[in-house]
């Protein structure tokens, strides 16, 4: 049995706006084991980024607030920690890389200053030693001439190098959990390949767990061991990566996989999920996917489906699949 | 496909960027029946100014000697990474940018030699769909005004007739006619892109330049728009220049594909051939870098080292030699010739 690193139970993060309450994350339960990569997929606005910011307790308040649920990191409740304790955890035991490396780096400090700040803060090294460690980190993430680059400002680096710099910063204190929120979305394909290979290598060398948040199903397939699929603030499906891609249970996952053009699919019409993502101020009754679901029944329009275990590593929130799965299990 | 069509972009004209401009006039053999667009040795430099006197201190060589053609009714995909010049290429073909040198022929006519009035009339025939549906629509105009504007400007229809045509167009792109009085902010990203498509269709164009039309959209919406573009192509006999960085999308929609790197097309062939028999090492690396949504697939990935060099000072010889794992001495000094290595398969590489 793998050791639990992070457990999120029934997490609810709401935003209180002038127009009403936005349930960005609405009762989400998942976990990350030590050393594994968990992929979280979903489209814009499904709550995948808010989930990860909640784990780091970085939700801007107001307007956002965690209104329910539990987050356990190494068995300790993150939500009950003081702000001072949180600061000791962030960047040290869990750290984060963001999508846009240009906006998440401070333009008036050199890349070396920014990396060594975390090292000095968390590991108590002096300025000189921290700078030397920063150079080591830059070398580790494959930046050429790290001794020179360490003194450069973000605008002097290319997009791929900035993202490497971010990764170097996030990894400088050997975190146990790395949260990567769309880490390669702003990068070109060949640079994306470099960064993904780097993350794989570092994960192996340092033994950390990764929570990878992305809308790119290709990236998930290459990186993750387990996958969580989110839709409109809820988890609709969870499972190991192979069964999610080869045997998707939820109609949303199924539709999503069919609608992406693949390098080996032929011409002709692409599969389409009709309609659009619901307005979070007016979530549909019952299953939130029911207005777009080709198989929706009356039950789906009335009652919210329960997140059900259908196989040892498979969970799904769908009335149709849950029943099928359960009957199958009984039969076997 | 006739042989004439294949001959059109003269390979000799591409070997030297500067020399091509002088010879372009002499080598114009345009098979007007086959090709809608012929681009010959197109060059677009943007000046960089500096100092107190704002003197020109250098050039961004965005497009640097490119020749290709687009056949009537096909979709020509242009792929490449950011800064490779693919968007500038699209804009230069539309004459939204004046080329530094080189020629663009539209149905056999030299677009650069047209008078202002002739150009204005030609603009009806070529339209554009932009990447960002949030930025490319005027927030103060209603959908009716946005889609109807080209009709009015070109004096095609006004008043009741215009409104009727706008309603038709909205119907064609899958919007409802009651949307006519709404503003862009009332629509989702996918719907906004449909408004942009309706506007592009308004004047019955022959060519539509689609500049990253789906990259700002979510996966489930992306397939809706791609299907719509394909339907419209069939119904209205459209020709697309489809500019995008997502290879899977380009593969799905294109008949032929050109791969750009640092202001040059390095390889051009049919979609099938490109994905089966890529010749240029850059194409190979690009194809292998695309993440595939198949967790069980094990494949050898070519990871290129380093970044794309600056288009201000592109490397000598073959521009890809600084990142190419096959590079030899000749690649550093001599620019590879743009040649047809197999029927309808063009490549610029010394080694392949």
Tell me the pLDDT tens digit for each residue of B55-108. 888 899 999 999 999 999 999 999 988 888 888 999 999 999 999 999 999 999
Tell me the per-residue pLDDT of B121-140, one tens digit each, with 9 for 90 and over: 999 999 999 887 788 899 99
CA A231 remoteness from chain centre:
14
Q: Parallel, antiparallel, or unpaired: how do β-strands B339-342 and B264-270 relate?
A: unpaired
Cα A19 from Cα A9, distance rounded (Å): 28
Contact: B292, A262; criterion CB under 8 Å = yes
Alpha-carbon distance of B315 to B321, in angstroms, equals: 8
- Decide if B309 touches A, using CB distance below 8 A: no
Give the helix/strand (H/E) hosting B117: helix B116-122
pLDDT of residue B189: 86
CA distance B26 to chain A (A): 39
| Tokens found for residue A11 | 């997490």
Are B139 and B184 in contact by the 8 Å Cβ rule? The answer is yes
The residues with which A182 forms a beta bridge, in sequence order, are none
d(CA A299, CA A286): 8
Verify whether the Cβ–Cβ distance B289 to A43 is below 8 Å. Answer: no
- Running DSSP on this structure, what letter comes out for residue B8? S
Q: Count of A–B CB contacts within 8 Å?
A: 122
B222–A259: do the CB atoms touch at under 8 Å? yes
A91-150: pLDDT as tens digits: 889 999 887 777 788 899 999 999 998 899 888 889 999 999 999 888 888 788 888 889
Which residue in B has a C-alpha nearest to residue A262's C-alpha? B248
pTM of the model: 0.83
The whole-angstrom separation of Cα B260 and Cα A248 is 37
DSSP 8-state class, residue B156: S
Q: Which residues contact A296 (CB under 8 A, 6 or more apart)?
A: A287, A289, A290
In angstroms, the CA A180 to CA A182 distance is 6
Output the six-digit token pair for A195. Answer: 């960064």
By the CB < 8 Å criterion, does B223 face chain A?
Answer: yes
pLDDT exceeds cutoff 60 at B25: no
Residue A264: is its pLDDT beyond 80? no
| B17: pLDDT strictly greater than 60 | no
Q: What chain B residue is nearest to A143 in terms of C-alpha separation? A: B306
Give the mean model confidence (pLDDT) for residues A230-256.
93
Taking only the tens place, the pLDDT of each residue in B218-268 is: 888 889 999 999 999 999 999 999 999 888 899 999 999 999 999 999 999
Output the six-digit token pair for A121. 């803060």
For A:83-102, CB contacts with B below 8 A are: none
């Amino acid at each position: 049995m793998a050791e639990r690193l992070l457990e999120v139970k029934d997490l609810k993060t709401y935003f209180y706006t002038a127009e009403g309450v936005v349930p960005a994350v609405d009762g989400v339960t998942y976990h990350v084991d030590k050393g594994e990569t968990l992929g979280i997929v979903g489209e814009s606005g499904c709550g995948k980024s808010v989930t990860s910011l909640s784990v780091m307790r970085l939700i801007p308040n107001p307007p956002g607030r965690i209104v329910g649920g539990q987050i356990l990191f190494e068995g300790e409740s993150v939500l009950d920690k003081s702000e001072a304790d949180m600061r000791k955890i962030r960047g040290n035991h869990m750290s984060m890389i963001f999508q846009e490396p240009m906006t998440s780096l401070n333009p008036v400090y050199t890349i070396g200053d920014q990396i060594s700040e975390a090292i000095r803060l968390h590991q108590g090294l002096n300025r000189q030693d921290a700078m030397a460690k920063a150079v080591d980190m830059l070398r580790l993430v494959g930046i050429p001439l790290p001794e020179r680059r360490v003194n450069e400002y973000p605008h002097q680096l290319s997009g791929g190098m900035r993202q490497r710099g971010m990764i170097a910063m996030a990894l400088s204190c050997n975190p146990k959990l790395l949260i990567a929120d769309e880490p390669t979305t702003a990068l070109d394909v060949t640079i994306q390949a470099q960064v993904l290979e780097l993350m794989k290598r570092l994960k192996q060398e340092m033994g950390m767990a990764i929570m990878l948040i992305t809308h790119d199903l290709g990236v998930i397939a290459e990186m993750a061991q387990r996958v969580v699929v989110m839709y409109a603030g809820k988890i609709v499906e969870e499972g190991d990566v192979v069964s999610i891609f080869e045997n998707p249970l939820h109609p949303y996952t199924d539709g999503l996989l069919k609608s992406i053009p693949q390098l080996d699919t032929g011409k002709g019409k692409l599969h389409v999920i009709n309609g659009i993502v619901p307005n979070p101020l007016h979530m549909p009754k019952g299953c939130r996917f029911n207005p777009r679901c080709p198989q929706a029944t009356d039950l789906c329009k009335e009652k919210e489906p329960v997140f059900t275990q259908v196989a040892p590593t498979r969970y799904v929130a769908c009335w149709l699949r849950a029943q099928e799965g359960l009957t199958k299990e009984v039969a076997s | 496909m006739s042989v004439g069509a294949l001959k059109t972009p003269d390979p000799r004209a591409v070997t030297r960027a500067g020399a091509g401009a002088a010879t372009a006039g002499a080598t114009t053999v345009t098979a007007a029946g086959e090709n809608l667009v012929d681009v010959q040795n197109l060059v677009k430099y943007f000046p960089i100014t500096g100092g107190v006197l704002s003197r020109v201190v250098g050039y961004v060589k965005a497009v640097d000697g490119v020749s290709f053609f687009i056949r009537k009714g096909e979709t020509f995909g242009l792929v490449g990474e950011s800064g490779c010049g693919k968007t500038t290429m699209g804009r230069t073909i539309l004459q939204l940018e004046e080329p530094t040198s080189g020629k663009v022929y539209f149905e056999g006519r030299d677009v650069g030699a047209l008078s202002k009035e002739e150009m204005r009339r030609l603009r009806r025939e070529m339209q554009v769909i932009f990447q960002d549906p949030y930025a490319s629509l005027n927030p103060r105009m209603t959908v009716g005004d946005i889609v109807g504007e080209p009709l009015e400007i070109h004096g095609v229809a006004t008043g009741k007739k215009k409104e009727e045509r706008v309603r038709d167009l909205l119907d064609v792109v899958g919007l409802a006619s009651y949307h006519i009085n709404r503003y862009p902010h009332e629509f989702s990203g996918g719907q906004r892109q449909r408004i942009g498509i309706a506007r592009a269709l308004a004047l019955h164009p022959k060519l539509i330049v689609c500049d990253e039309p789906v990259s700002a959209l979510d996966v489930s919406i992306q397939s809706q728009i791609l299907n719509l573009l394909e339907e419209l192509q069939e119904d209205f006999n459209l020709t697309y220049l489809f500019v995008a960085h997502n290879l899977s999308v380009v593969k799905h929609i294109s008949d032929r594909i050109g791969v750009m790197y640092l202001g040059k097309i390095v390889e051009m062939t049919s979609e099938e051939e490109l994905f089966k028999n890529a010749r240029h090492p850059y194409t190979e690396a690009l194809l292998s870098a695309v993440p595939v949504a198949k967790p069980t697939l094990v494949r050898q990935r070519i990871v290129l080292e380093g970044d794309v060099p600056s288009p201000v000072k592109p490397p000598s010889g073959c521009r890809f030699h600084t990142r190419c794992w096959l590079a030899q001495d000749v690649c550093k000094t001599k620019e590879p010739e743009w040649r047809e290595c197999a029927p309808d398969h063009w490549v610029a590489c010394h080694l392949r």
